[in-house]
Each structure stands twice: as structure tokens, then as C-alpha cells.
Structure 1
Amino acid sequence: MHDIRAIRAEPQAFDAGMARRGLSPQSEMILALDASRRATLSLLQEKQAKRNELSRDIGRAKREGVDTASLELTAVTLRSEMELLQGQADQADADIKAALESLPNLLADDVPEGADETANLQLKVWGEVPRFDFAPRQHFELGEALGMMDFAAAAKLAGARFTVLRGALARMERALGQFMIDLHTAEHGYEEMIVPTLVNDAAVYGTSQLPKFAEDLFRTTDGRWLIPTAEVPLTNMAAGEITPEARLPWRMTALTDCFRSEAGSAGRDTRGMLRQHQFRKVEMVSITTPEQSAEEHERMTRAAETVLERLGLPYRRMLLCAGDTGFGATKTFDLEVWLPGQEAWREISSCSNMRDFQARRMNARTRGADGKSAGFAHTLNGSGLAVGRTLIAVMENCQQPDGTIRVPEALRPYMGGVDVIAAA
């Protein structure tokens, strides 16, 4: 959500920010609504002052025994006029809110220009892309050959974009989630949380999925929403709160099931488990002061990178361009892992600084050492990592000529010492 006061102060700068997002100038429309609202409120205050004066006149007339019928008729008319003005002011408030909540966050100055992912900037590459002396297979080929990845059974149970994992692959996915959580809590200072996977309208609105991205979500018959990521419940822990600065950065992590409708992805990644309606993910969320968020963004991204490094998976860090940066983010680093079966880099983590965009929507504030409110907090979120995609990356990077999967050393304690996954 944007600050209307900032738009009033620098409308041209706001329009320049929207232009980087590929949008036409917005300030004139917003400020016209704002001016109409302020004029209506000014007139309403004038009417209120007249009503107060009229009330005093009626009281004085009654004490003096003077007929008040005419004054009371004027009061009725005045009250009707005020009710009409209040309705107009409320509608203006709603119109301004609707306009502001439909607009994306302003981008950081160092976000590169560009219309789509082809303009994203590669910042680093870690590890060596594996070279095989055989034709590497994709994860679904490996999983089906092992008898541990069953798409037909999943389709029978739930339809397309679901997977049933069996045996050692099921255990490896569980192991990956536990490994990530242990790493983030023990070494990176995140507090582990168990959070609801069903949330209300306010929570999904606060993290900016509503109203713009409702079609990407699943909604229950009682009006709750299945979370697309634990970002929603974790970030909303700060909603409506005034958090002391001494507690910040407030770092939280959770391993949850996530649910996405994948609206608009028809025909993309239809084979395998790369793009699913239901998947598991370890999410990292930080609540910070404005001064801390840039440094925290780097720290969070390094935490996600550490997972990949411990697993020995080659990856690259990308700085997303203007056209590829998400609606609520001011700046995003994507981590892309190499998938030998596809011979392609694929996203496995996205770490974003939202600055105060979400905090304004959910009224998440900070309090300074002097006990006074220091304004809105900054919020950040990142995948640490998407568990299913990490399973895919391990399978494809650690595959062997006979179709078995070498278990990364970091996972072996979670796998009961098993070092190779083979067909039973």
C-alpha cells in the first residue's frame, strides 16, 4: 500500500516509479480523488460546526420559552446533508483505497530496467554444472523407474498437478524439510513456527495477495484461504502490532504445505512435480526497521544459498529486473538451481524486500527506545527452500548411470545413514 502523503509531496516521482513498472501516470487520478475527499470532509466539518451552533441555539431558545420548530426543522435538514456528505466521504475513502491497493510497490533504485526475465541480471554462480558420461534423465523419469513417484495414483486421487511419493523418495523429501529447518534455526537465527495453513481475508490482504491475485489461491466454503506460502501467516504475526525496535530483526521460519491454483500456467511444466497445486516449502520471514532491511535482504538470501551449498547443488543468484519483480516487492533476488535433465536453470528460491508496502496494509509498526512509535516496519520473505524443487534438483544432479540417486552427505543423518536410493 502506498502513502498518499508521499504521492501528494512528489507526484512526479511516484509516476516515474509507476512508469518503471510499465504503468501510465497514476498520481493525477489519485490526487483528484484525494482532493474531492478532502473538500467533502472540509464541507462536512463546516456543517458540523453549524450543527453544534444550532444545537446551542435550540437549547437557549427552549430555556427562554421560544418556539424552536423552525430551528429543529433546520437541524433535520442539516443532519440529512451531513449524512449525505459522510456517505460521499466514505465512498471517496473506498475509491482511494481501491486505487492504492491495485498499484505495485515502487522499485529500488538498483533494480535493472527490463520487461521480462530475459533482462534479469546474473550476480554470481556457485558450483560446477555436472557433466555426465550418459544422458541425464529428468526427475519424473528417475522417480517412475524407481517405483517411488506415482503421478497416476495422484491423478486418481486429486487430478493433475499432484504427486504421490513412496519409500525412500518420500523420506528424502521429509529429510530435506527437516534439514532446512534445522539449518535456519541453529545457524541463521530464525525462530521455528507452526502456523495455520488456513487464513482469513485480512491475513491474505495484508501480504498483498488480495484483492489482485485471488484467482491464484484456493478458497474454502467457509471463506478461508489455503496459504500459497507461509509468508502469509508468518508476516501477519506483526499485523496490528507495535514491535519494539530492540526485538528487531524478528526472524521466523516455518515448513508448511502450500497451495496454489497455478492460474495462467496451463501448458507449462505439465510433466513431473515442478509446478504443483500442493507442495511443501520452508519459508523465511523477517520484520525489521527501515534501516535494517537492505542488510537483512542480503543475509536472508545467503541463508537460502547455504542450503544449496550444503547439498552441493550448483546455483546462480539473479537480480530480477523491473518487469519481473513481483507486485509487492521493491527488490528480489532469485536463486536458480541447475537441472541436468532439463539442461536449464530453474528458480528454487525467491527472496524479496517489501520495505513498508505490506506493513502499511497490515498496520505493522515499530516502537523506538524512547517508547514512541517509529513508523511502519519493513517486511522481507524468502524461500529457504521450496522442498519439492530441491528434491528434483537432488535427484537430477545426483543421479547415477544405473538410475540410482546418490544421497548428499548433509542429508544422510536424516535418511538413517542411507547413501544411495535404489529400486526395492
Structure 2
Amino acid sequence: MGTFSMPSLGADMEAGTLVEWLKHPGDRVERGDIVAVVETQKGAIEVEVFEAGVIDRLLVEPGTTVPVGTPMALVRGPGEEAIEAPAPELVSAEAAAAPAPSVHPAPPPSAPAAEAPGRPRASPAARRFARERGLDLVGMTGTGPGGAVVSADIERSAASPAPAPHPTRGLDLAEMRRAIAAAMARSKREIPHYYLSTTIDLTRAHAYLERINAERQPADRLLLPVLQLKAVALALRRMPEFNGFHTADGFQPGTGIHVGTAIAIRGGGLATPAIHDTDRLSLDALMAHLRDLVARTRVGRLRSSELSDATITVTSLGDRGVESVFGVIYPPQVAIVGFGKPVERPWVAEGRVVIRLLTTTTLAADHRVSDGHKGGLFLAEIDRHLQEPEKL
């Protein structure tokens, strides 16, 4: 019998609040299926299951805040029989807050769990429908039993013009800032950073983008960050010591190249969701993924794997006018690459002084895993790929 537990969605997360179960006892699940929605400092996160089976028992009620690693459900594997013994009561918000909660045997509840305080009443189908359309249930008038919001109410709301949602609705930015600060303090305390920088000529990359974007519609055009992400991902193929995690057992290489990209949330928050298998994606697919991530990050709608799977982080403050950024490694990762604002400057090429579009590219890396020699080779490899943009 497998256990579905509250996942760790980054070094800055200690606990999460269960918002909603999307699967129930008896439902079959496959690896990657979304089974629950969990509220964290980064918003409402859709949490995936990582083993196939059948949901046997739910152990936590919606509205309950539980620490990372707390069992939340039991998942019956292929060929396993259902548990016949009475299941413990679902852990409620009140029980989770009590210093010594008492757990009594009880059969699984036959009725849906009560709504968490402050959450609008709504059917599971209505909640899924609202998430798919980016609608907020707060303040919505329900026509279902007891005033619950049903799918028909969502349809009417989606068809009616409404003001654009505030990008940080539902996010406690002060709490997010505290969590980020704690993670960064841990990083500087535990990780022996070393820092390198180099100047990369982006003239060819910029000319390539102008050429291929000339006949494209604005929504289909590629942006420079996509070339930079792909160059980092391809460089990691040859320099795998920068792609992975440092744990109590030492360096653990990443099972794939999942580049996390730092995305600012308007109002002061920050998230670094991962683009899975970045090295295998075409530039167009990578651009589509990046646009989607930015849109969902800014309204707090991400998946658990996007927050937990990044094997390296890329950050840039170029759009803020910053010409170089030396990042702090996000544990347990072992490296972060920074790109500054591209600027035109004199540059010596083929014995002549010419004007080139240049950017300062930086690396902060974990000295327990790599050294400055390897770091220099890694930056040179990124540079090499950016000089051949048509091959990315």
C-alpha cells in the first residue's frame, strides 16, 4: 500500500494547506495525475501522484494545514486488496492545530468533507471548471443545493465580462518573502558558493531572432530568454555536474535537464518553476512553455512537479535594466546561471573594434560539487551554443 504525502515544493516550504481533493476513494490514478490542490506561499498548486493505483483512503480533510511529508492518502497498488480494517478519522484543520490530536478508528466518510472556513461551497466539477477558466469562486452566487456553486454558475460567469483578476490574488506576499528569505539564508549558510562571470556576444543570436521573427505574428515570435534557456540546457549535457542536487549522500545527478526559470510575481513574490526536458524541446515548444509558465505563475497556478523538479535555475534582471546578476543557489540545487541586460558596446572582433550586443553571464555554483575550472568550461559551453543560434 503506497502513501501519498504532502510534497516538498521547494526548500522554502515547511507545510501546505489541502484545498481540495480531485480524486476520491475507488478512483484509479496513473503517474502524473493531479489528485489534489494544495495552497502554499506560491499559490494554489496542483499536486500530482507519482505511482499508479487506486485511491484507497483519504487521511486529511480540505482546509487542513499539514507539514511536508505528512501522509494524506493511501494508494492501493496493482493486485493489492483494499484495506478492510476501519480507517482513522480524516485529519481536520482543528485536529492538525491541536498539540496532541487523538485519532479514533472510524469508517471512511460517506458524505463529502465539509468546506474549509472561508471557502465558497462548490461541487468538485465546478471547482475544476473554474480553475480551467481562471475564475475565482469567491463572491460567486451559487444556484445549487444550499447555495453551492455548480457548473452552470461557472458557465454564466465565464460568459459575462468581468474585470481581469489581480495577479497576486490568494498569495500572501509577505509570507512568501519570509519563506524565500529563509531558503536563501540556508543556502548562504550551508553552500560554499563560488562565482564566475563572462561576457557573451549576442549579436548573432539577436540577428537570428530578427530574421525568423520577421514573418511571424507577435504571438508566435521567439524571445531572447528562450535561446538562453536552450543554450544552458545543451551545455548541461556536456557538464552534468551542474545539473542535479547535493544531499546528505553527496551529489545526485538530475534524471533529466529541467531548467527552472525565475519569474517575478507582481507585488514582490518570486517562483522558479521548471521546464521539463528543456534540452529536448524545440525553440517554439520552449517559447510556448515559457509563456504558459509566466501566465500561470503570476496568478499562482502551478503544478507540484514544476516547483520540485528543477535541476538548475536561470535568472535574469535584464528587463529591470540590471547588467549583471549573481544569484544565490536554490537548495538542494548546485548552480544558478544569471543573464544581464544586453547592451551595445565596443568589442574587438577579427582585429577590428566593432559595436556588438553584449551580455554579462554569471555562474554561482556549489564548491562541494564543482570548481572554478569546471565552471569556466560551463560558461564557455553556453557561449558556444549562443554563437550558433540556428543549431539550438
Identify the structure with the greater strand proportion.
Answer: 2
Identify the structure with the greater helix proportion.
Answer: 1
Question: Do they fold alike, i.e. is TM over 0.5?
Answer: no
Which of the two has higher C-alpha Rg? 1
TM superposition score normalised by structure 2: 0.29
